[in-house]
């Protein structure tokens, strides 16, 4: 590990070569949108909202899984990036059934916030209207597949923090879906500990507590950083 000097948005700064672009940018007050990244669990690079431009690179790179190096020159905000990000958010809305006004996470939703920040006020792509189910078999929680954006936060926190690995992704491409155990109802899962970590890290209203009405589900994923620090201290 060594300290390197780089430029982000024409600002000269330093970082460690074991850090990714996203973390270095945040340390210097530069925000990059993301929906799959969350401090306290591994970085995945799946949502692609954190794509940035790197000088002399022919392609855009995901900031959350690209480490910095000496002399790197990065642009995090440009018309090109804004266009890509808006399209990604539009695709997330059209691939699911997101009706914000009746969602338990209305006004407490990271997808909704991201759309607002990117000025996505209407959808230009055709809606798919998929036929998806709602699993309310668990005693305390509900999984609404209509609002799932496949960020895999729940998969990673269940595996890496709780150690249960109840959740996983089945299928490929547009047929990918979140499943519990071997596609069993959540309430029948022999591995689920009912800890609620997956519910707290979900960025949308896909996972929520029973009994919550529209706009009542507030989430607190900040506990992950505390647990991650405790885990490091025990090593």
Domains of the chain: 3-77 (3.10.20.740), 100-234 (3.30.70.20)
Q: What is the CA radius of gyration of the chain?
A: 19
DSSP calls for 82-100: HHHHHHHHHHHHHHTT--G
**93 CB-near residues (< 8 Å, 6+ apart):** 111, 115, 120, 123
| Residue pLDDT tens, the chain, 235 long | 799 999 999 999 999 999 999 999 999 999 999 999 999 999 999 999 999 999 999 999 999 999 999 999 999 999 999 999 999 999 999 999 999 999 999 999 999 999 999 999 999 999 999 999 999 999 999 999 999 999 999 999 999 999 999 999 999 998 999 999 999 999 999 999 999 999 999 999 999 999 999 999 999 888 888 777 766 666 5
What DSSP state is assigned to residue 67?
B
């Amino acid at each position: 590990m060594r300290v390197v000097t780089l430029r982000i948005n024409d600002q000269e700064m330093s970082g460690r070569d074991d850090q990714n672009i996203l973390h270095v940018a945040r340390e210097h007050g530069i925000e990059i949108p993301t929906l799959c990244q969350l401090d306290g669990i591994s970085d995945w690079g799946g949502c692609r909202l954190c794509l940035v431009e790197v000088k002399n690179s022919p392609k855009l790179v995901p900031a959350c899984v690209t480490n910095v190096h000496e002399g790197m020159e990065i642009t995090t905000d440009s018309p090109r990036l804004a266009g890509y990000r808006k399209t990604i958010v539009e695709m997330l809305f059209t691939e699911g059934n997101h009706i914000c006004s009746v969602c338990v996470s209305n006004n407490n939703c990271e997808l909704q916030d991201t759309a607002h920040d990117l000025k996505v006020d209407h959808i230009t792509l055709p809606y798919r209207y998929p036929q998806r189910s709602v699993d309310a078999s668990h005693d305390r929680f509900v999984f609404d597949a209509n609002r799932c954006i496949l960020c895999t936060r729940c998969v990673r926190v269940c595996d890496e923090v709780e150690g249960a690995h109840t959740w996983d992704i089945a299928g490929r491409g547009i047929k990918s879906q979140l499943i519990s155990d071997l596609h069993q109802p959540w309430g029948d899962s022999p591995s689920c500990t009912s800890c609620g970590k997956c519910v707290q890290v979900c960025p949308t209203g896909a996972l929520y507590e029973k009994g919550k009405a529209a706009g009542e589900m507030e989430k607190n994923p900040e506990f992950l950083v505390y647990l991650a620090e405790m885990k490091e201290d025990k090593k």
